[in-house]
Amino acid sequence: MKTFLTQLLDTLLPPSCLACDAQVAADGQFCAACFRRMNFISAPFCESCGVPLPFAGAAGEGGCCQRCEISPPAFTQARAALRYDAASRGVITAFKYADRTEAARGIAQLMLRPGRELLARADLLVPVPLHPARLRWRCYNQAALLTSRLSRLTGRPCALDALRREKATAPLERLSRAGREAELAGAIVPRQGFTATNQTVLLIDDVMTTGTTANACALALRAAGAARVDVLTAARVADPSLA
Ligand SMILES: [Zn+2]
Ligand SMILES: [Zn+2]
């Protein structure tokens, strides 16, 4: 974890590119070279889960991908800024594991545009929780950092401890969809006493892979009374079937 002094220096130093050390004009920007490598998500994408679609006609009747049509997620809409690929992985990994916490402000800014409508209708912003053991080891929850940044940028209230992870789950990437759902069943619950009665809650995370975690969080928020749950992430895997 950074000391107060290094955090202070970060705010005094000229802003650097989100992906490398090159200087840029303002926080939350990529240098020209890194910008060219980033893949921002643009239409067409699934109306519901936000997964990029290969072409406009690939969506079904309701504008949704096949997966959402067959089994609609517990959240209403999910949106993300970047495709999670070799280029954006470096940004996210440095933010997550290499103490580049100052990137939270820049990454949160990238999320404003794809999350515009979701942020506008949100009553409350809530991060995807980390298990306490993982939090101790990593010192900070990257989703909570993004949530408080987005809350400051938009004036929307946030509840950083709304959800809790009851058990440490195995890495989900190598499990089948059914396996992931079984692993997460009951793992994420609302904090005791937390209610979101009739509220529209916006769930925040750094990366959406298959959507299983977001779905488990949405179920917990719905159990706490939320009328609607949306999801906003910095990046998402473009083809969850390959994840
Ligand atoms: Zn750069
Ligand atoms: Zn979908």
Amino acid of residue 108: A
Residue 80 has what DSSP assignment? E
> How far is the CA of 55 from the CAs of 39, 43, 58, 130, in angstroms?
16, 9, 6, 35
Say how many Å lie between the CA of residue 41 and the centre of ligand 1: 19
Domain boundaries, the chain: 40-242
Ligand found nearest the CA of 15: 1
Tell me what percent of the residues of the chain surpass a pLDDT of 70.
89
Q: What is the pLDDT of residue 10?
A: 60
- Residue 5: band (very low, low, confident or very high) from pLDDT cuts 50, 70, 90: low
Ligand found nearest the CA of 78: 2
The CA-to-CA distance between both ends of the chain, in Å, stands at: 30
Say how many Å lie between the CA of residue 63 and the centre of ligand 2: 9
Question: What gap in Å lies between CA 68 and CA 15, rounded to an integer?
Answer: 40
Q: Per CATH, which fold does 40-242 belong to?
A: Rossmann fold (3.40.50)
Ligand found nearest the CA of 32: 1
Phi and psi torsions of 178, nearest 5°? -65, -40
Average pLDDT of the segment spanning 83-99: 85
Q: Tokens for 119, please give them.
A: 């942020």
Ligand found nearest the CA of 29: 1
For β-strands 228-236 and 200-208, DSSP reports them as parallel
Does the predicted model carry a pTM greater than 0.95? Answer: no
Question: What gap in Å lies between CA 142 and CA 91, rounded to an integer?
Answer: 12
Say how many Å lie between the CA of residue 72 and the centre of ligand 2: 8
- Residue 243: band (very low, low, confident or very high) from pLDDT cuts 50, 70, 90: very low
Taking only the tens place, the pLDDT of each residue in 13-55 is 778 888 888 999 887 788 999 999 999 999 999 999 999 998 8
Q: What is the pLDDT of residue 28?
A: 74
With tokens 């000229």, the residue in question is: 14
Q: Which residue has better confidence, 139 or 68?
A: 68
Q: Residue 194 pLDDT more than 90?
A: yes
Per the prediction, the chain carries an average pLDDT of 88
- Residue 58: band (very low, low, confident or very high) from pLDDT cuts 50, 70, 90: confident
Q: Residue 224 pLDDT more than 90?
A: yes
Strand partners, 16: 23
- Residue 102: band (very low, low, confident or very high) from pLDDT cuts 50, 70, 90: confident
Burial of 47 (0-12, 13-18, 19+ CB in 10 A): middle
